Structure 1
């Protein structure tokens, strides 16, 4: 039986480079990841982790693919689920006129995890879109 996959597609009025920066910049990720931030050098094989405001890691993974500004993929694993195979997060960015089509694919999930990540991703990516499309957000990333 195949494991569930969460797919989310949105169009953001921005550029490929600005969206890539928003996905990979520690300071910018803090604005839409619920006060935490992603930390990585985004090189294939490097670690990636979400650090909460207390300085602790909420989840961690390994960068699987990094092709700026079009593809980014990493594993995703919660600290209490180390006996399970990590899930995988993939971002695909594609310029579409004056917008960028952002496709998020989070796969290798179990049913409960799929429900949990679908809520979290929907909120986080909605905030990301809003930040990039408001004038202050665009100025920050420029």
Structure 2
């Protein structure tokens, strides 16, 4: 593949159904995604957007795949930084696989731009978000706050 990609794999001690719910329930997402609000109908083809706490649109796109509790994919574009928005559409795929007492979560974020500034940006954000998600599901508390 030409372009840029970010891949992150983590194992979370939970069930695929609970992890799926955590990935698709806006009130739960807000807890581990630093108060960002996600709006979607959670079906293929529906618009999706992520809003800052003040209501500004951070990222937007559409649901590309929706296969509970196995696979979720987004067509995704940054909407608030012109240099990132200019790179165009990316694709984010989340795959869930049972792994004994845990679930293997693989997040792949790709774009058809070499040396993408967008992928560089998400490479710093995804580990924090997914660490919070893992901690919240396993302990009931996030690992880090926005501040």
TM, length-normalised to structure 1 = 0.89
Structure 1: gaps spanning 5 or more residues: 138-142
Q: Is the 8 A contact 2:111 2:119 kept in 1?
A: no
Residue 87 (str. 1) matches residue 104 (str. 2): no
Aligned ranges 1:48-67 → 2 under 5 Å = 48-67=48-67
Residue 103 (str. 1) matches residue 106 (str. 2): yes
Structure number with higher helix proportion: 1
TM, length-normalised to structure 2 = 0.87
Residue correspondences, number = 137
Tell me the secondary structure at the aligned position of residue 123 of structure 1. Answer: helix
Mapped to 1, the partners of 2:119 and 2:89 lie a distance apart of 13
Structure 1 residue 45 displacement after superposition? 0.4
Residue matched to 1:131: 136
Mapped to 2, the partners of 1:126 and 1:135 lie a distance apart of 13
Residue matched to 1:38: 38
Structure 2: gaps spanning 5 or more residues: 143-147
Mapped to 2, the partners of 1:136 and 1:85 lie a distance apart of 35
Q: Is the 8 A contact 2:2 2:112 kept in 1?
A: no
Q: Is the 8 A contact 2:87 2:118 kept in 1?
A: no
